[in-house]
Amino acid sequence: MQDPLDVDLNPQQIQAFWNWLTAHQQSLDALETPDDPFWDELLARLQALHEGLWFEVSAKREEDPERELVITAQGDWALFPLVEAMVAVAPELPGWTPVALKPPMGFEFSISYRGLELDPEEIWFEPLVDPDAPEVLGLRMAIAGFNDDQEEDFANGLLLMLDVALGEKSAATEVDLVEVIDPPADPDDEGFLPFKELGSYLAWRKSRLSH
């Protein structure tokens, strides 16, 4: 992981990116899927600032014409200052709201990842805390259908779910490691909590650590 001090917060390059995007807003307004050639062009311009930067755009909706342009570091905390600095100086883009890092979306969703169907209703977690290092939090996550052959895919899929549910910054700074296992016969009896309660647990944990 990079040292945050090594990330160049070059204001001239950041301004040049926004100037370019402002000049191409018509293409941005039409952007919907990665199949659009402008998707790759925008990504290339963004990654000219740093190769670890990515973006997402919200879908067009008749009931809410305002769309979001999310600049993301894909969970790399070393790039968070760069992303936040970029969005802080973003110009007005009519119809768009620039957003620094993926915002929290809650737990009412499911995702497909490398052939896996991941549903919060079928996931539990057990906090892993070392009394000698209480600030470090690990999660032992039990998920229905887990198998050792796809352990890496399950782990990466769950990390993606944490980004979506908690928001990119919270997921990267509050959860230090994730371990994936097959769920026990009765998760409640084994001390596991439903995945949907993770946000409440983190809020409780933060209040405890602050005292």
- Per-domain residue ranges of the chain: 4-100, 111-209
Q: Is the pTM of this model over 0.85?
A: no
pLDDT one digit per residue (tens) for the chain, 211 residues: 444 445 667 899 999 999 999 999 999 999 999 999 999 999 999 999 999 999 999 998 888 889 999 999 999 999 999 999 999 999 999 999 999 999 999 999 999 999 999 999 999 999 999 999 999 999 999 999 999 999 999 999 999 999 999 999 999 999 999 999 999 999 999 999 999 999 999 999 999 888 7
Q: What are the backbone dihedrals phi and psi of residue 8, each rounded to the nearest 5 degrees, phi first?
A: -80, 115
Q: Are strands 133-143 and 123-130 parallel, antiparallel or unpaired?
A: antiparallel
Nearest to 101 by CA among 77, 127, 129: 77
Q: What are the backbone dihedrals phi and psi of residue 53, each rounded to the nearest 5 degrees, phi first?
A: -90, 145
